[in-house]
Structures are given as C-alpha cells and as structure tokens.
C-alpha cells in the first residue's frame, strides 16, 4: 500500500546532529500523526496535525519539531538528536476523527 | 487524559490454543479500534466497535465491546503461526487523538 510513505527507512546519526524524518500521504487525509515505538512503551504520540498549518503536541513532544505546510507532508525534525531518541518512528494519517488510522512502514532511527 | 489498560503484555501459546487480549477503560468509550502489528511491520487496522455489547467476527477472530462500553476483548480461536504479532486496542483520547494500549505480544509455538 503506497498511500503513506516514510523516508528514510533506516537512519544512523550521531548525538547532537539534526535529523528530519519525512512522511508523505496520497489520500489528502486531514489528520497526520507521529508516534515513536519503544519496547515496553507501546506507541507514544509525539505530535499531530489536524490540517495544514495546524499542529499540536502529543504525549512526548520534547526534542522534536514538526511542520505541515502542505496537507500531504508532515516532516518530523530532531533538532539535536540524543541517544534516548533511538526508536522506531511511525507516521500515520486519518481522514476524519473516528476513521481508520493508516500507518506508514516506519523509520528505524539509531542515535550513536 | 484518556488511558486504556491492555492485558496481558505477553502471551505464549501452542499452535491450536486460543488467545485473548483485553482492554479496559475507567471511562465510557465512544468506540474502540483494534490493530495488529506483525514483527518488523507497522500497525494495521483490524476493526472498530461502536455499539454497546457489539460482537464482530473475522474468521477465527472475535471482537467484543462491553455492555458498559468500558472494556473490549479480542479472542483468537485455534491460533496459527500467522497470528504472531502485537495486538493493540486504541480509543479516542479527546476529539482528535487515538490513544493506544501498550499492546499484547503474541507468540505461537508450532
């Protein structure tokens, strides 16, 4: 399913570097989300967006920045990566509030 | 904020045994969704339950929504190795966000 894609799929970086994870969806969904998944913590919401130019914090926003200038793109930036941000990052999108949420394939990020 | 407790965290079964995971909330839910994540994969939507007492089936999977709309369960009959993965429930956390349970990781011994 190519409706929602993430890039890169794998990334290794060093502490202190800036990293941007990309997310693109082709459905024109209003809502987009970023989650991180770590063992024992399930899926934790980092940021979400209800529409272009509207973003809001989730459960664990510290150290992350998002933007949404276009409906189809929702990049996530780690301004100064830390080892604790080593994780698998999933982007997701949804059309309306109670609709199915579709997840991208994920980005596995390692911060050395 | 909205929270949902999911148990058990892990479940190991022999192939052919049944499996059940439960989600519980202290507040009444408008609906509940279930997702499955295969090892190395991403969560994939399975089903949404909306009505009190609702029961839905997908082949060997049976989903239930409690009468009080505060709990839900996913039951798999006669597990197969293709059922391995982590099963998540998800509920509305406010008007826009989905709040996910921590998941139940199912392993199946052939």
Residue in B36, B92, B97, B101 to test binding to A, most A beta-carbons within 10 Å: B97
Measured CA to CA, the distance from residue B38 to residue A108 in angstroms comes to 15
For A20, A62, A86, A88, A96, the CA distances from A82, given in Å and listed in that order, are 14, 11, 8, 14, 34
Q: Supply the pLDDT for residue A2.
A: 63
As a whole number of Å, the CA-based R_g of chain B is 13
Reported as a single tens digit per residue, the pLDDT across A63-92 is: 999 999 999 999 999 999 999 999 999 999
Reported as a single tens digit per residue, the pLDDT across B61-87 is: 999 999 999 999 999 999 999 999 999
Q: What percent of chain A has pLDDT over 70?
A: 96
Partner-chain contact B97 A41, CB within 8 Å: no
Mean pLDDT over each residue of chain B, to the nearest integer: 95
Partner-chain contact B102 A40, CB within 8 Å: yes
Measured CA to CA, the distance from residue B110 to residue A61 in angstroms comes to 41
* Interface contact B73, partner A, CB < 8 A: no
Phi/psi region, residue A2 (left: phi>0; alpha: psi -120 to 50; beta: rest), is alpha
Q: Supply the pLDDT for residue B102.
A: 93
For B50, B56, B65, B91, the CA distances from B53, given in Å and listed in that order, are 9, 10, 5, 16
Q: Supply the pLDDT for residue A99.
A: 82
> B13-16, long-range: CB within 8 Å, 24+ apart, which pairs?
B13/B79, B13/B106, B13/B107, B13/B108, B13/B109, B14/B108, B14/B109, B15/B79, B15/B80, B15/B81, B15/B108, B15/B109, B15/B110, B16/B78, B16/B79
- Tally the residues of chain B: 110
Contacts of A98 in chain B (CB under 8 A): 30-31, 48, 92
Q: Which residue has the higher pLDDT, B2 or A35?
A: A35
Among all residues of chain B, which has the CA nearest to that of A33? Answer: B97
């Amino acid at each position: 399913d190519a409706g929602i894609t993430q890039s890169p799929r794998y990334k290794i970086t060093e502490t202190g570097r800036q990293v941007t994870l990309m997310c693109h969806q082709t459905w024109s969904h209003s809502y987009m989300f970023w989650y991180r998944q770590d063992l024992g913590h399930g899926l934790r919401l980092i940021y979400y967006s209800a529409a272009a130019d509207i973003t809001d914090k989730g459960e664990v926003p510290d150290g992350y920045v998002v933007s949404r200038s276009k409906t189809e793109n929702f990049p996530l930036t780690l301004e100064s990566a830390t080892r604790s941000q080593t994780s698998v990052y999933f982007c997701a999108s949804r059309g309306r509030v109670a609709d199915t949420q579709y997840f991208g394939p994920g980005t596995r990020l390692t911060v050395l | 904020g909205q929270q949902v407790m999911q148990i058990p965290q892990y479940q190991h079964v022999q192939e052919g045994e049944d499996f059940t995971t439960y989600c519980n909330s202290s507040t009444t839910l408008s609906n509940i969704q279930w997702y499955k994540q295969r090892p190395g994969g991403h969560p994939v939507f399975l089903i949404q339950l909306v009505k009190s007492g609702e029961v839905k089936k997908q082949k060997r999977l049976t989903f239930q929504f409690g009468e009080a709309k505060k709990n839900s369960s996913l039951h798999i009959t006669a597990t197969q190795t293709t059922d391995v993965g982590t099963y998540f429930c998800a509920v509305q956390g406010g008007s826009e966000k989905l709040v996910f349970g921590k998941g139940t990781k199912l392993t199946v011994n052939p």
